[in-house]
Structure 1
Amino acid sequence: MTSTPTPVPAPVVAGAGTGTASGGRIGPLSTAVRLGGLFGPSVFGVTAAAVALPKVAAALGAAPAEVAWVLTAHALALGVGTAVFGRLADSRGARAALPAASLLLAAGALVCLAAPSLGVLVGGRLLLAAGSGGVAAVGAALLAGVDPGERGRVLAGYGMVMAVFASVATLLGGVVTTWLSWRVTLVLPVLSVVAAPFCLRLAVRPGSRRPIDVAGAAALTAAVSTLLVIVQSRTLGLGGPVVLGLVAGFVPASGALVWRVARRPDGFVPRALVGAAVHRIGAAIGVGVFAGLFAAMYVIPQILAGVHGWSVLTIGVALLPGAAVGAVLSRRAGLLSARGGRLVLAGTAVAAAAALAVTATGRGGPWPAVAAASLCLAAFALTQVVIIGDLSARLPPALRGAGMGLLNLTFFVGGGLGSAVTAASAVWLGTSRAPVVVALFPLLAALVAVATRARADAPAPPPAGTTAPPADTASPAPPSGPSHA
């Protein structure tokens, strides 16, 4: 067995790490569809579920602030799940992490379907989101291991698949809630389980078998959980004493996390990732894009429904062109250099910010709002291609799961922050004026992408403090044909 990491588009193997082919080679398009089907349904947990909240409140006799916990719990556990299972994929391999995450996702879905009360429903959403985040993290780690020679084509197809999932989320949520049940809408992320068996065929790289830093995981979980609840405290209707208590928990948890990273460089949050500029830059861009998307998905449907009288189904249909825009741009960006991809992402984000600003003026009827939402969806798809593609080419194989998991955790925290800031600004400015605040998020992402484009194509050296082999851009792409674990 060689020490060279196995690219994802490889022959089907008889067992993880054996290198024995038992089937045909998996092509770039098939790889993109499999991994997109694994990650894509995770977006339904927030965007589609938001449509069902009025039905949830009516069925369970809950107040709007109480029902908001359905989304808050999901965002919280989704981010934590991506980080935990990303590290598990590094340690035990994707063949162990993916079934575990799928089982947790399915168990949470069953609890949600049978929940007799809001408390049980929120508990089910926590389980479901943790599993959904875990499945997404494993998918991102597998995507990061794609053969460098085929990475561009895989990323282009993957971005197209993600654009479709993101753009149909609102429509699907409305259709399922109207024609089936709000309970089914809340468990739509379980669709990832359908793709899991097909993605297991791509998981041929064994784990490092290094023990997982439980203390570091606990500190990260506590810090992220309290932060997300703090930023959404206004939406959740939390009082001052509760918020102060959360702050009192956040400060020591954050301090413990910083201390743990300093003391244990190879712990749950590897110091090499924290110190890597490419990781910090990618996180900053992703936070801006995700915050803009989550905020737009919060406020744009309210404007289209409240101001222009559109139904949920009409709104969903109007956002479908966002899939086409995202698909075309993702295919283009996936075939460009890292620098060119960032420029495409920046241009799309600036266009989204401009459309959001026009929406806030009230001019142009409903169409600026539709354009803004569609461009935010396209920027989301491009982020999957450009940022994940860039990092997957630079991260050492032993850090890919942790890197992708922590990156997605940062993205989802940014999304929660965007929703919270927009909800607060809607109270002060009014819902119709809130898009001017939302516009700041994609604009931030664009500025970071443009400011760092010069270093995008520069090969990154192996992160300091790790014995992992260098990323696969440091060596020539392996020849086509059978590859070995």
Structure 2
Amino acid sequence: MSSTTASTVSTASTATAAPAAPAPSTTAVTAPTTAPTPRQVPAFWLALLAAPVAAGANAPVLILPDMARSLGVATATATWMVTAFAWAMAAGTPLLAALLRRRGLKPLLRLSTALVVGGTVLVAIAPWLPVALAGRVGQSLGGAGLVAAAMNLAGSARRMGVISSGFGVMGAAGPLLGATLTDAVSWRLAFAVSAIALLAVPAVARYARDAQPGEGRFDARGATLLIALATALILLPTAPLPAVAAALLTAVLLALHVRRRPEGFVPSTLLRSPLFLISAALGVTLSTTYFTLLFTVPSLLQDRAGWSKGAIGTGQLITLLTASALSWLLAASSAHLGRAAVRTILVTVGATAVATAAFSASGPLLLLAAGAAAFTATGANATLSVHAASATTPAQRPTAIGLFALSYQLGGAFGPGITTLLILS
């Protein structure tokens, strides 16, 4: 995912200035008043609110052995730090989006801040892996709330592109940043990078002070069933048979619940909307493709092209940053292109990335495949999330964005599992 230039952020921020005050009336008749137009949060603050979560998610990639030695566990066991973060992000996004809908922005920001701070403190002092896992879950849940807030405040594909590009930059830099902080200080500091997002909370709360809380009774059973389904799907790579059985059972129970409560945590209108279903299906597919190639291409570069680890890391970083910048251009022009054209571009580039990675032995072409997958995933997050949100009423917009984000986050769990199968085969 990627970065945007300072001029881009400046342009997005300038476009959100508050409207000018009306000129005084020249007649004795009092003109009718209208409600003031709420100011948009500048895109820079939205990107800062959400993007550090990507760095926090990817920071452990190169430092798991250091962390494992510190906590006295095997490196394979330490990978649960990654799995726990992915699970909490996937499950927490729709939950905290529901909080936004029912209570408004400021309660969401307060809870998310508390979770990030509490989780970061736990990771910093954790003497054992279970305590560190609890801290990672807290960090991820808080980050999910910040991401949900940023996505709901974006309002357009262009501004969503700034957020997704920020995700790309921080996600691409996360492993190198984590390794650098570990070498200089400690792996515990590397796990604290997501807390940078808290710098944006006061500004976002100030600009969005006019946001009104939504209404609706919380559907606890629907939320529980959806989280159980997401958990079963995330466990597919590690425990296929039990996970499949649990996923099928939970899916049936969730479907029955939606029939009884069509306006609950999973609205039936979204499940009947072709626009939402297509957007969510493409989101999880392109996200899975990206995360699969993200972990597979380095091995292919080493085996097929004979590249060193240093060359692979540098090449992949440059490629991912470039791809994320290009994805912002797609997001910025998506309104003019139209939905069908955007989908066609994403599917075509994504399929080309898979074919190139499967058959090419050229180092540059393999890097191009990874970049193409990053472009489609970041572009999908920016554009398809807007499509998904437009498939329902304004009141259910946070719900639609949260459920789309859940489907997208599932790719982060499927991709590494597919990579393991490909490498072992």
Band of TM-score, shorter chain: 0.7 to 0.9
Using the alignment, how far apart are the partners of 2:191 and 2:406 within structure 1? 21
Give the drift of 1:265.
1.2
Query: Aligned pair in 2 of structure 1 residues 322, 248: CA closer, same or farther (>3 Å)?
Result: closer
Query: Aligned pair in 2 of structure 1 residues 158, 267: CA closer, same or farther (>3 Å)?
Result: same
After superposition, residues 16-95 of structure 1 pair within 5 angstroms as: 31-95=42-106
After superposition, residues 330-369 of structure 1 pair within 5 angstroms as: 330-337=328-335, 339-340=337-338, 343=341, 346-347=344-345, 350-351=348-349, 353-361=351-359, 363-364=361-362, 366-369=363-366
- Report if aligned partners of 1:305, 1:311 keep a CA contact under 8 Å in 2: no
Using the alignment, how far apart are the partners of 2:381 and 2:84 within structure 1? 24
- Report if aligned partners of 1:330, 1:382 keep a CA contact under 8 Å in 2: yes
Aligned partner letter, 1:262:
R
The answer to whether 1:324 aligns with 2:335 is: no
Query: Aligned pair in 2 of structure 1 residues 254, 354: CA closer, same or farther (>3 Å)?
Result: closer
Aligned to 2:308: 309
What secondary structure does 1:205 align onto?
Answer: coil
Using the alignment, how far apart are the partners of 2:345 and 2:389 within structure 1? 23
Q: Pick from 182, 185, 188: which aligns with 1:180? A: 185
Q: TM-score, normalised by structure 1?
A: 0.73
What secondary structure does 2:216 align onto?
Answer: coil
Give the drift of 1:183.
2.0
Aligned to 1:379: 376
Aligned to 2:284: 287
Aligned to 1:229: 235
Give the drift of 1:407.
0.7
Q: TM-score, normalised by structure 2?
A: 0.82
Aligned partner letter, 1:163:
G
After superposition, residues 89-238 of structure 1 pair within 5 angstroms as: 89-143=100-154, 146=155, 151=156, 153-203=158-208, 204-233=210-239
Using the alignment, how far apart are the partners of 1:316 and 1:56 within structure 2? 24
Query: Aligned pair in 2 of structure 1 residues 80, 202: CA closer, same or farther (>3 Å)?
Result: farther
- Report if aligned partners of 2:158, 2:331 keep a CA contact under 8 Å in 1: no
Backbone CA RMSD of aligned residues? 2.9
- Report if aligned partners of 1:345, 1:382 keep a CA contact under 8 Å in 2: no
The answer to whether 1:424 aligns with 2:411 is: no
Name the % identity. 25
- Report if aligned partners of 1:334, 1:386 keep a CA contact under 8 Å in 2: no
- Report if aligned partners of 1:231, 1:417 keep a CA contact under 8 Å in 2: yes
Query: Aligned pair in 2 of structure 1 residues 261, 349: CA closer, same or farther (>3 Å)?
Result: same
Which stretches in structure 2 are left out of the alignment for 5+ residues? 1-14, 20-33
What secondary structure does 1:266 align onto?
Answer: coil
The answer to whether 1:253 aligns with 2:250 is: yes
Query: Aligned pair in 2 of structure 1 residues 424, 346: CA closer, same or farther (>3 Å)?
Result: same
- Report if aligned partners of 2:54, 2:167 keep a CA contact under 8 Å in 1: no
Give the drift of 1:360.
4.3
Using the alignment, how far apart are the partners of 1:317 and 1:177 within structure 2? 22
Aligned to 1:266: 263
The answer to whether 1:278 aligns with 2:275 is: yes
- Spell out, residue by residue over 1:50-108, the C-alpha distance to the aligned partner (whole angstroms, 9 max, x if none): 22222222322322331221111111111111010011111111221122122112211
Using the alignment, how far apart are the partners of 2:232 and 2:158 within structure 1? 40
Aligned partner letter, 1:195:
A
- Report if aligned partners of 2:51, 2:163 keep a CA contact under 8 Å in 1: no
What secondary structure does 1:215 align onto?
Answer: helix
Query: Aligned pair in 2 of structure 1 residues 153, 227: CA closer, same or farther (>3 Å)?
Result: closer
Aligned partner letter, 1:419:
P
- Report if aligned partners of 2:320, 2:374 keep a CA contact under 8 Å in 1: yes
The answer to whether 1:406 aligns with 2:403 is: yes
Using the alignment, how far apart are the partners of 1:174 and 1:343 within structure 2? 40
- Report if aligned partners of 1:319, 1:373 keep a CA contact under 8 Å in 2: no
Using the alignment, how far apart are the partners of 2:79 and 2:125 within structure 1? 19
Using the alignment, how far apart are the partners of 2:211 and 2:250 within structure 1? 34
Give the drift of 1:269.
1.1
What secondary structure does 1:125 align onto?
Answer: helix
Query: Aligned pair in 2 of structure 1 residues 209, 281: CA closer, same or farther (>3 Å)?
Result: same
What secondary structure does 2:63 align onto?
Answer: helix
Which stretches in structure 1 are left out of the alignment for 5+ residues? 1-7, 13-17, 235-242, 429-485
Count of aligned pairs: 394
- Spell out, residue by residue over 1:286-312, the C-alpha distance to the aligned partner (whole angstroms, 9 max, x if none): 112211222222223444567522239
- Report if aligned partners of 2:319, 2:370 keep a CA contact under 8 Å in 1: no
Give the drift of 1:179.
2.9
- Report if aligned partners of 2:56, 2:174 keep a CA contact under 8 Å in 1: no
